Amino acid sequence: MDSFIPEGYKTILGVYDTQKAIGLLKRLFEDNLSAALNIHRVSAPLFVEEHTGLNDNLNGIERPVEFQVRCTGTSAQVVQSLAKWKRMALHRYGFYPGKGLYTDMNAIRRDEDTLDNLHSIYVDQWDWEKVINESDRNLEYLKATVRSIVKAVCDTQSTMQAIYPKLTSLGAINPEVTFVSAQELEDMYPDKTPKERENIITRERGTVFVMGIGGRLLSGNKHDGRSPDYDDWDLNGDILFWNGLLGCAFELSSMGIRVNPESLDRQLTESGCDDRRGLLYHRMLLAGELPLTIGGGIGQSRLSMLLLGKAHIGEVQASVWTEETHRLCEERGVMLL
């Protein structure tokens, strides 16, 4: 969708209070998430060397921002996410099952084809990853983790509304998660697009986790794209909340149980990415040298939008926008940072 400002929209908190609230919100959520998942903060790279294969290929078509490092003569890429780096870090740092890490991830998505209320070329998220046992590679463990993340969101909202009573006008997020597979959604609404299906189910249920994203559905289409080398497409999904202000399903997190050697082998072949098998990360994973993990990303600006009742992501982050977006926001009294 193009940027739009809902009729009659007025920000609940002014610019100064918004900045204070964002800082508090992030500290609260980090504490809640860390406690819920037993994960601990670490430092992370802004860029990685291209030859390592550690950068995230996302849907496989997005071009990373690249530059040459004069002193080393190598090519480096600004990270698109830290999905692979995190797993390698857990291996290098010696984390054990049940314990994990989280970090701030900042990325540039130069090929983002839509700049609107929810999408920016600047991405800021909490990237997290946790070591698990083989016995944890199942849907029940995935669902339990999703419920823990949603609880952390709800607890953060509750505290923010106690500190900023004006935010209670937004109502409360539904803490009960509806779990539905992408195939079930296609069966329920075969004539709808994936986004339309998400809107229908999330409007009805409030909080939804759509499972099984990346592989082809029975129709031959995909619900959405996923890189073949981080999530196991049978054990992943997206956390969605209904955003009444914007009237749409609001994706906060993409996450999942990560590939093991068997699922990586299968997904590389299925996606036509067998050339990646020679990269260091992929060689180690196929050889069973990396820990089994679960992980994901949680949008920082997205969470700020949701809990502070903002209509445009530019109200909570500084980025680049079209002239039309600047004109629209100025006319409607919306300040972009």
List residues with catalytic annotation. 56, 109, 125, 238, 251, 254
Contact 69, 75 (CB under 8 A): yes
Q: How far is CA 157 from CA 53, 163, 309, 316, in A?
A: 38, 10, 11, 16
Contact 212, 224 (CB under 8 A): no
| Encoded amino acid at 259, one letter | V
SS (H, E, C) the chain: CCCCCCCCCCCCCCHHHHHHHHHHHHHHHHHHHHHHHCEEECCCCCEEEHHHCCCCCCCCCCCCCEEEECCCCEEEEECCCCHHHHHHHHHHHCCCCCCEEEEEEEEECCCCCCCCCCCCCEEEEEEEEEECCHHHCCHHHHHHHHHHHHHHHHHHHHHHHHHCHHHHHHCCCCCCCEEEEHHHHHHHCCCCCHHHHHHHHHHHHCEEEEECCCCECCCCCECCCCCCCCEEEEEEEEEEEEECCCCEEEEEEEEEEECCHHHHHHHHHHCCCHHHHHCHHHHHHHCCCCCCEEEEEEEHHHHHHHHHCCCCHHHCCCCCCCHHHHHHHHHCCCCCC
What is the phi/psi pair of residue 14, to 5°? Answer: -70, 175
Quote the CA–CA distance of 52 and 62 in Å, as a whole number: 18
